[in-house]
Structure 1
């Protein structure tokens, strides 16, 4: 009787969970990412051991049913299939020099152990606010794929470009972060709208966007504006661009030089969180605008000091029905 534990099954399982892990990371679901990433590493590590011999998947605990089955001495598998865990599989691969040894001067092995520990913690207890182990996950999988002589692109599928971004040592940390966000956003866009008929996305784009320059918030220090922009990720004109001007630049100045603070696309979810990410995405630091570009205000200004800024902007004081036309 053939064993239900085979290299091909372990490898295919590792590939499936690797892609699920990448999807979870793109959706910023850290717990699901850790669960799937841990399973993927465990199955791929076991596949590497199984390629040598299935007996390497057996536990050393005094029970030899699995050992005899994998060695071919027992034709039928035991009623309960039990193989080694991820930590043991990784430990054996380290002894075989497939994965990095634990050294005081190296954190790569520690990061891998941390990924597996967090996977176990999420599976049993749940965890929050943990370190991002995406790079550790991708690096470990890459080492195992190289050892097995398997093609990285066929393993990662649609996530191959994202993996190349993570592995690019030439790019700085900020550039890699922005490029990865962009790649993940494009994947979300394709996934969300792949089954819609042609032209449907155009209608959705019109529904979620608003043209013109809008006052979002005012304060004694200045004002925050919102305008429509083309998304650097999906290419659709569906991104809300948030622009800031300090109080000095607002005084009696109809031509504004607004600093780009952040961006959020309503279709693919691409987000730039600060001015540094904006620059890394290739957007200009400032955009010129005129007060004549203003269409309406969505900011309520109950405080007199904040209302003064609104007056200096040349706008009417915003009342409780904040969506009045300017």
Structure 2
């Protein structure tokens, strides 16, 4: 009788849970990510051992039913199939120099142990506010795939580009983080709108956004505006840019600084000028007060609205008629 524990089944299970882990991370569900990532690593580690010999999946505890079955000496598998734990599988792969050894100066091995421990902790107790183990997960899977000589693209499928971003050692931390979130937002967009027609998607974009320049908030020395922008993640004109202007900007040539972005379709977000720049968007935009369409402060008359903005900001150059 063939064993229900095989390399192919372990490998396919690892691949399925890897994709579930990436989806959970994109949805910012850390507990579900840890559960799925830990299971994926465990099954891929056991697949690597099974490729050598199935007996490497047996516990050394005096009970030899599984050992005899995997060795082919016991044709009928035990009623209760029980293989080694994830930690034991990882430990055996470390002895085989497949995964990094535990050393005093090796944080990579400690991070992998932390991922497995948190997986177990989440399963039994629940956890929150933990360190992000996405890079540890991706790095471990990559090492195991290389050892098994398996194609990374077919393993990760639609998450392949996201994995490349995580592994990009040339990019800075901020740039990697922005690119990662951008790829995750693209995946959410494809999941939500992939089967809809272009017309339906464009209608959804128009319904959730507003053209023109909207006054969001006015305070002494500063005003906030909102305008429509193309989202760098889903490439749809559905993102709202929050723009700020200081009191020394010309009234009919506003120099607005980009402060944040949020897309109504894919949920992509940017916060601060550094993230905006990392996403490839301009940090400064030129607009005119004439482009104002309405005010969220419910000032009905455009002339009164402009006057309100002017009065709220200090006059920096009193000799100029077109400055605040």
Scaled by the length of structure 1, what TM-score is found? Answer: 0.90
Within-5 A mapping of 1:255-274: 255-274=253-272
**Local SS of the residue matching 2:114:** helix
Deviations 1:254-303 (A, max 9, x none): 432111011111111111122111011111111112222111122479xx
Could you tell me how far apart the structure 2 residues matched to 1:156 and 1:44 are? Answer: 13
- Correspondence for 1:94: 94
Which residue is equivalent to 1:11?
A: 11
Matches within 5 A, 1:1-326: 1-246=1-246, 248-249=247-248, 253-299=251-297, 311-313=308-310
Task: Give secondary structure in 1 for the equivalent of 2:211.
Answer: coil
Question: Are 2:289 and 2:306, in contact at CA under 8 Å, matched by a contact in 1?
Answer: no
Quote the Cα distance in structure 2 between the aligned partners of 1:29 and 1:218: 36
Q: Hey, what's the Cα distance between the residues in 2 that align with 1:193 and 1:310?
A: 43
* Counterparts of 2:59 and 2:297, CA distance in 1: 64
* TM-score w.r.t. length of structure 2: 0.90
Cα distance in 1, alignment partners of residues 251 and 70 from structure 2: 80
Q: CA deviation at 1:19?
A: 0.7
Name structure 2 gaps, 5 residues minimum.
300-304, 313-324
Q: Which residue of 1 aligns with 2:319?
A: none
* 1:145/1:214 CA distance change after superposition, 3 Å: same
Q: What residue number does 1:321 align with? A: none
Q: Distance in 2 between matches of 1:84 and 1:42?
A: 10
In 1, the alpha carbon distance for the partners of 2:198 and 2:101 equals 53
Query: Residues 53 and 193 from structure 1, CA distance in 2 versus in 1: closer, same or farther, beyond 3 angstroms?
Result: same
Matched residue count: 307
CA RMSD, Structure 1 to Structure 2 (Å): 1.9
